[in-house]
Amino acid sequence: PPAHASPFVPTSAARWINSLWFLSLLFSLAAAVTGILAKQWIREYQKWDEATAPTRENVLVRRIRYESWEGWHTAAIISSIPAMLELAVVLFVCGLIVFLWTVDVVVAIVVTIFSAIFLMAVATFTLLPAFFKRCPYKSPTAW
């Protein structure tokens, strides 16, 4: 490169966009891998050896598995999968909004409005169970 060329310095927007999108990708991949692992854990937990083990032995093994399942907070790990995906979506949408504001203001306005409506709906569905006991929108990420 020529001696007078200045080094590349990414803009603040480029740093935000890349940070948000890569974090979104990482949370998506973490959710996918955790989901695969959880499916394997559930398969092992539910395993019942009808062919070789007597019923009493199967019951004892199931009890040990249940105690391990509870002791290692497996249900909490599995419950985190939707939260990781929701966080990935929010990070992606935020990165998209930042990106669009650097490209085209009209498109950015339209996407920002619909993204805000979408994110407010998600927040509403997440928070409603905290205020209304009989709200059917209960989930691991809901209050």
Q: Pick from 10, 13, 9: which is nearest to 97 by CA?
A: 13
**Which residue in the block uniquely carries the two structure tokens 């093994």?**
61
Average pLDDT, the chain: 92
Q: Which helix (H) or strand (E) holds 127?
A: helix 105-131
**Global confidence as pTM:** 0.82
Supply the DSSP symbol for 21: H
Q: Is the pLDDT of residue 140 over 80?
A: no
For the ranges 49-58, 79-88, 116-125, the lowest mean pLDDT is seen at 49-58
Confidence of residue 143 (pLDDT cuts 50, 70, 90): low
Per DSSP, the three-state class of 26 is helix
Question: Who's near 62: CB < 8 A, 6+ residues apart?
Answer: 48
| pLDDT tens, position by position, 8-20 | 999 999 999 999 9
Question: Using an 8 Å Cβ cutoff, are 80 and 34 in contact?
Answer: yes
Q: What is the phi-psi region of residue 73: left when phi exceeds 0, alpha when psi lies from -120 to 50, beta otherwise?
A: left
Nearest-CA neighbor of 98 among 43, 4, 23?
23
- pLDDT tens string 20-73: 999 999 999 999 999 999 999 999 888 877 777 788 888 888 899 999 999 999
- The domain locations on the chain are 12-131
